């Protein structure tokens, strides 16, 4: 009952009362770094393609938030996954709804996760030879029309600036949904000779896609991302680059986010609007739906031909460059939430957690206070100077019990409790977020800085591995190997992923989507080498495909 009372207010801005699902007349398949919205209508958290910028009930909503108060618990994940997701985002203060339908304000705690993602990837991009730069976000409309499949994929979801400085513009400007077109316009001016290649750049930027159904982090009208763009002299180099970057993303997902993504190639139907090949990392969320968490495209010469991006090769011949683009966005934050969270709330992998350790002093009598607070402060200082991201919660408005729940809900990996008896014994109590109750609690860890630091580091590493291991087990339990369409349908109807040999047509693939709601997430790189029999046609198939319902 609590959940059903809460949902309308939480999803208000993302769900219009007049929600007409599927108003978009034709499905658009070859679209973007983000996959198309799933076809089957879901109950909540989706919004219609409204045109009103500001809902009338902003004040009402603010009022409700206040009256609901802070004490209301997060809906258990096991009870309602979508309500849980929205609750976690609200309660953990990860994000809030912007005033314009489908937009999102990323709050400090959520933004800090994005910063941790940026910090890691930015180093990796530079190590692999890319330079950061910045392209304007306004793109002449005519640019978008130059590459045939690109315009087909993106034109339904563009935001257009038509008025500037009080005047109607002669040519409408597109607010960038992705930058391949403007990048190629510039590359054409910068690239002359083979000596100018490879040209390898990246930008951290905001992008806009006028999405019909939105969900915080997962699909918003505006989101933040990085987009890499490279130009090469040969198709082999471009292919190598596209594969290298999906590998960077895969390692990031496993090692930093503890998300055991499956890397592979997209089907022709699902690939990026303008790419020859799209590589993807697909993650299984806690509700077993797939999330496309990062993509890397081999663009071939599609954009270089459309924009005349040529170079003079070593023999003096003019050739079109071979290109790639690749992106990871704030959607990944949603992936982290939905991979690791549990009934109690968020559970963050230590390497990306804005706060790795929360220190909570516990005392009852006034004469205990100063000793406990002083010990807690020392512990905090010691860990902080060792480079651990630690916070001391010494606020007096809340009980220790309230704080335990609060920081658990915020997903902090480790909790250190310090009471009067701990002060006397010079030790602390350490609790793991990933192991609930007494099992995850260890008493008598020495306060001595070097000992405590080593213990904390060790535990953070253990939690990091444990989250990955748990997610792997969950993933593998929920992928079914199928050899017929009936088996595929059965697996999908159970909410699982179906993996089976596939060499059927685009039409067959679309039929599976229509009949089951599942799409080919990827042809995983990792698959048995032997020739098998296509689950749909019985013809020989050299690859397996993974089908799943997806965000």
Please, which of residues 165-184 interact with its own copies by CB under 8 A? 165-173, 175, 182
Helix (H, G, I), strand (E, B) or coil at 477: helix
Helix (H, G, I), strand (E, B) or coil at 309: coil
394-413: contacts with its own copies (CB under 8 A): 397
Q: CA-based diameter of the chain, in Å?
A: 85
Using the rule CB under 8 A, which residue among 88, 158, 238, 352 binds its own copies?
Answer: 158
CB 103 within 8 A of CB 220: yes
354-383: contacts with its own copies (CB under 8 A): none
Q: Which helix (H) or strand (E) holds 64?
A: helix 58-68
d(CA 151, CA 136): 19
For the bound state, the minimum distance from the C-beta of residue 51 to its own copies, rounded and expressed in Å, comes to: 5
Using the rule CB under 8 A, which residue among 22, 40, 164, 401 binds its own copies?
Answer: 164
Taking CB under 8 A as the rule, does residue 27 contact its own copies?
no
For the bound state, the minimum distance from the C-beta of residue 414 to its own copies, rounded and expressed in Å, comes to: 22
Closest CB to its own copies among residues 129, 444: 129
Taking CB under 8 A as the rule, does residue 233 contact its own copies?
no
From the list 61-69, 236-244, 457-465, 541-549, the region that binds its own copies by CB under 8 A is: 61-69
Taking CB under 8 A as the rule, does residue 65 contact its own copies?
yes
Closest CB to its own copies among residues 202, 250: 202
For the bound state, the minimum distance from the C-beta of residue 104 to its own copies, rounded and expressed in Å, comes to: 7
Cα–Cα–Cα angle for 334, 354, 90, nearest 5°?
45
> Which residues in 422-543 belong to E strands, given as ranges?
427-432, 441-446, 479-481, 497-501, 519-524, 532-533, 540-541
CB 489 within 8 A of CB 516: yes
Q: What binding mask, one character per residue, do residues 412-441 give for its own copies by CB under 8 A, x or -?
A: ------------------------------
80-119: contacts with its own copies (CB under 8 A): 96, 98-100, 103-108, 110-112, 114-115
Token pair belonging to 525: 């790189």
Taking CB under 8 A as the rule, does residue 155 contact its own copies?
yes
271-330: contacts with its own copies (CB under 8 A): none
From the list 220-228, 269-277, 500-508, 535-543, the region that binds its own copies by CB under 8 A is: 220-228
For the bound state, the minimum distance from the C-beta of residue 108 to its own copies, rounded and expressed in Å, comes to: 4
Taking CB under 8 A as the rule, does residue 52 contact its own copies?
yes
d(CA 412, CA 415): 7
Query: Quick check: bond before 198 cis, omega within 30?
Result: yes
Closest CB to its own copies among residues 167, 438: 167
Taking CA atoms, 102 is separated from 8, 23, 47, 107, 447, in Å, by 15, 16, 7, 16, 48
Cα–Cα–Cα angle for 172, 173, 178, nearest 5°?
140
Taking CB under 8 A as the rule, does residue 72 contact its own copies?
no
């Amino acid at each position: 009952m609590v959940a059903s009372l809460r949902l309308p207010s939480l999803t208000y801005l993302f769900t219009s009362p007049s929600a007409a699902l599927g108003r978009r007349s034709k499905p658009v398949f070859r679209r973007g770094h983000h996959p198309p919205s799933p076809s089957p209508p879901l109950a909540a958290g989706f919004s219609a393609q409204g045109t009103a910028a500001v809902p009338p009930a902003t004040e009402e909503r603010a009022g409700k938030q206040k009256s609901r108060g802070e004490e209301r618990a997060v809906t258990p994940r096991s009870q309602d996954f979508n309500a849980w997701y929205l609750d976690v985002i609200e309660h953990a203060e990860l994000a809030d709804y912007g005033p314009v339908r489908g937009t999102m304000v990323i709050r400090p705690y959520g933004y800090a996760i994005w910063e941790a993602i940026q910090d890691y990837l930015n180093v990796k991009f530079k190590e692999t030879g890319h330079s950061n730069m910045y392209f304007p976000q306004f793109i002449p409309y005519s640019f978008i029309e130059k590459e045939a499949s690109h315009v087909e994929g993106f034109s339904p979801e563009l935001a257009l600036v038509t008025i500037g400085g009080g005047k109607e513009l002669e040519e409408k400007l597109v607010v960038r949904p992705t930058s391949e077109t403007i990048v190629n316009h510039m590359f054409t001016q910068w690239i002359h000779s083979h000596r100018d290649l490879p040209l390898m750049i990246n930008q951290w930027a905001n992008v806009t896609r006028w999405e019909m159904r939105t969900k915080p982090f997962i699909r918003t009208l505006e989101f933040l991302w990085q987009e890499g763009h490279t130009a090469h002299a040969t198709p082999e180099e471009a292919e190598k680059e596209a594969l290298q970057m999906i590998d960077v993303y895969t390692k990031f997902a496993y090692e930093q986010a503890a998300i055991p993504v499956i890397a592979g190639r997209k089907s022709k139907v699902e690939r990026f609007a303008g790419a020859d090949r799209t590589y993807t990392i697909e993650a299984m969320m806690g509700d077993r739906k797939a999330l496309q968490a990062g993509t890397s495209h081999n663009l071939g010469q599609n954009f270089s031909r459309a924009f005349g991006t040529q170079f003079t090769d070593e023999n003096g011949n003019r050739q079109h460059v071979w290109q790639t683009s690749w992106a990871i966005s704030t959607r990944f934050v949603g992936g982290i939430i939905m991979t690791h969270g549990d009934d109690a709330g968020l559970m963050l992998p230590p390497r990306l957690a804005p706060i790795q350790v929360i220190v909570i002093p516990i005392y009852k009598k006034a004469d205990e206070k100063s000793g406990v607070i002083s010990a807690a402060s020392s512990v905090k200082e010691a860990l902080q100077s060792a480079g651990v991201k630690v916070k001391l919660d010494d606020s007096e408005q809340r009980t220790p019990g309230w704080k335990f729940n609060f920081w658990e809900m915020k997903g902090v990996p480790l909790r250190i409790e310090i009471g009067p008896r701990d002060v006397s014994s010079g030790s602390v109590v350490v609790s793991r977020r990933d192991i609930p109750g007494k099992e995850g609690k260890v008493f008598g860890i020495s306060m001595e800085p070097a000992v405590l630091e080593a213990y904390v580091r060790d535990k953070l590493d253990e939690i990091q591995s444990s989250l990955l291991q748990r997610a792997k087990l969950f993933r593998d339990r929920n992928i079914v190997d199928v050899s017929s369409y009936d088996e595929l349908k059965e697996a999908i109807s159970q909410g699982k992923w179906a993996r089976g040999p596939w060499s059927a047509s685009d039409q067959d693939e679309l039929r599976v989507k229509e009949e089951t709601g599942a799409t080919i997430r990827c042809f995983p790189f990792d698959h048995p080498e032997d020739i098998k029999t296509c689950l749909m046609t019985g013809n020989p198939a050299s690859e397996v495909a993974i089908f799943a319902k997806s965000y």
